[in-house]
Chains A and B, each alone.
Chain A
Amino acid sequence: MENSVKIVTEKLNLYYGNFQALKEVNLEVCSGKVTALIGPSGCGKSTFLRSLNRLNDLIDSVRVEGEVRIDGENIYDKSCDVVRLRKKVGMVFQKANPFPKSIYENVAYGPRIHGVRDKKVLDRIVEKSLREAALWEEVKDNLSRSALRLSGGQQQRLCIARVLAVEPEVVLMDEPTSALDPIATQKIEDLIRALKQKFTIVIVTHNMQQAARVSDITAFFLNGEIVEVGNTGLLFTQPVDQRTEDYITGKFG
């Protein structure tokens, strides 16, 4: 996959009522790379992530200004089809949120709502997605088991499989390992590195080691603004901005 620009945000402002959560955010996200968003709690990184698939639309008081272009198309344009957008830009949440259904039904959920009825096709999609999410070997004999009985790490990989089943181009991850133990976290991180061949990945993380381990590009958010963006290796070793340095060296956070 060539590394072309996939997502561009231009002067993105976002308000919750009177509170401005994002201020003039300009960012380019390249395909085939992992972009990490770091910053202290409440700095707007999750809000920014959720503005990339318009999940903030669900909150009544939210107002958005500026543009988010994905493949050149402004997703805040009136003509944008939100359903198609969210199929193309999938999301993995902070807390694994499997539906109270079987493992199979969780993965088949997306294809089903997009009109896939053929059982054979669904079977294929479910197997392919679970393999891609590195979960197939663990669950292939128990596909009809309730997804809620999986362990936390398995649940999160199931949620990733569920996203992959609708064949997205971008995968957004909102602190996907913050509730997991180190071993489960490592599995997810391995998975992220494998998935970046096929998908554009944007990940929000509190864990700076994680950002350093999995990402190619890192953006540092503070008070709703991007302070610094750069190659992950450079940003963590030679930060340009004093605030970035203070944050990554643990002076605040």
Chain B
Amino acid sequence: MKVKSKLRLMDGHCYISSGRTAAFLAQRLVFLVLRLAMLLVILVTFYIFYHILSNGIGVISLEFITAMPRKGMTEGGILPAILGTFYITLITALAAFPVGVFTAIFLNEYARKNMFTRLVRLSIRNLAGVPSIVYGLFGVALFVRALALGTSILSAGLTLGLLTLPVTITASEEALKSVPDSYREGALALGATQWQAIRTNVLPSAVPGIMTGLILGLSRAAGETAPILFTGAAFYLPRLPSSLSSQFMALPYHLFILSTQHHAPDKVRPIAYGTALVLLLLVAAMNMTAIMIRARFRKAAARR
């Protein structure tokens, strides 16, 4: 042991009688536990992915992702579910992005640090902890009923937008916070208005962080079932949605139906695995995009 010999060198006397002291053993034990915890996480993730991949890969074909479901969903593809998820995610992005970013700009750049903003921040943090089924029911009350948007792509997309809002706001605020104050002061000292300073000097540096947060929020929203359950997702639709007020099929809900609500669950099991795989790949692709944006930004920052 290096430590031992060094200690001996310092005053010629050895304090450590044996290499395996209690402290040393405790360290070994803790490292072992840490390593096991990490292995568990990797194992579970890989098992899920392997299980779905091995069971679903056989079903995936061009037809599977481009055809309508047939014969009570026992045959055919899942195109309406893919498109449905795509459409609501788009609405979610359009709703969450401006509201989330503007709220973050207001909180971080304009608002004074007082009771009111502390309350707003507290609410946002609490909003992030609300169960998704509660968002679903709230969506029914607000969008479907009160605003009379009916069960539709719009209602479901907006409900998911609410769900994504806390993540978007928090990520945007963090991104804005990481922009050095000297960029703001430098612009203001040249006679820029606060908005000019934000638009030309703060936002450009914050955009990658904001986009990363938004995409991660969206990828979570795309996999949600409970918020769309009552706000527009349909059990089975033999046609594609025609407008924002149409009902729609969605990947996570379709998966739920096939695995638990179908009259012949064994018969549709391969389709269920295929659906799960498509959803998984979709979410993975979104997360990869977020990672790539961040990496590209880091590289650009390093080049400076």
Asked whether A66 is an interface residue with its Cβ less than 8 Å from the other chain, the reply is: no
- The segment from A15-23, A79-87, A212-220, A243-251 that touches chain B is A79-87
Q: Which residues of B contact A93 (CB under 8 A)?
A: 182, 185-186, 189
Given known A99-B183, A100-B205, A113-B196, contact A91–B189 (CB-CB < 8 A): yes
Residues of B contacting A: mostly: helix
Write the nearest CB–CB distance from A200 to chain B, whole angstroms: 16
Asked whether B289 is an interface residue with its Cβ less than 8 Å from the other chain, the reply is: no
In-complex Cβ contact of A86 among B188, B201, B205, B304 (8 A): B188
In-complex Cβ contact of B200 among A55, A113, A159 (8 A): A113
Asked whether A236 is an interface residue with its Cβ less than 8 Å from the other chain, the reply is: no
Residues from 173 to 201 in A contacting B, C-beta threshold 8 Å = none
Q: Which residues of A contact B183 (CB under 8 A)?
A: 97, 99-100
Asked whether B263 is an interface residue with its Cβ less than 8 Å from the other chain, the reply is: no
Given known A60-B112, A99-B201, A148-B304, contact A83–B186 (CB-CB < 8 A): no
Query: How far, in whole Å, are A87 and B113 apart by their CA atoms in the complex?
Result: 28
Q: Which residues of A contact B192 (CB under 8 A)?
A: 83, 110, 113
Write the nearest CB–CB distance from A133 to chain B, whole angstroms: 14
Write the nearest CB–CB distance from B125 to chain A, whole angstroms: 22
Chain B, interface size: which category?
20 to 34
Q: Which residues of A contact B133 (CB under 8 A)?
A: none
A110:B191 contact, CB within 8 angstroms:
yes
Given known A93-B182, A100-B205, A148-B304, contact A60–B189 (CB-CB < 8 A): no
In-complex Cβ contact of B191 among A97, A148, A166 (8 A): A166
A-B contact pairs, 26 of them (CB 8 A): A53-B189, A55-B185, A55-B188, A58-B188, A60-B113, A83-B191, A84-B191, A86-B188, A86-B189, A87-B190, A93-B182, A95-B182, A97-B180, A99-B187, A100-B183, A110-B190, A113-B187, A113-B190, A113-B196, A113-B200, A146-B303, A146-B304, A148-B304, A163-B189, A163-B190, A166-B191
Residues in B lying within 8 Å of A, measured CB to CB: 112-113, 180, 182-193, 196, 200-201, 204-205, 303-304
Residues in A lying within 8 Å of B, measured CB to CB: 53, 55, 58, 60, 83-87, 90-91, 93, 95, 97, 99-100, 109-110, 113-114, 146, 148-149, 159, 162-163, 166
In the complex, besides A86-B191, A110-B191, 16 extra interface pairs with C-beta distance below 8 angstroms are A55-B189, A58-B185, A86-B189, A90-B190, A95-B182, A97-B183, A97-B185, A97-B186, A99-B186, A100-B183, A109-B190, A109-B200, A113-B196, A162-B186, A163-B190, A166-B190
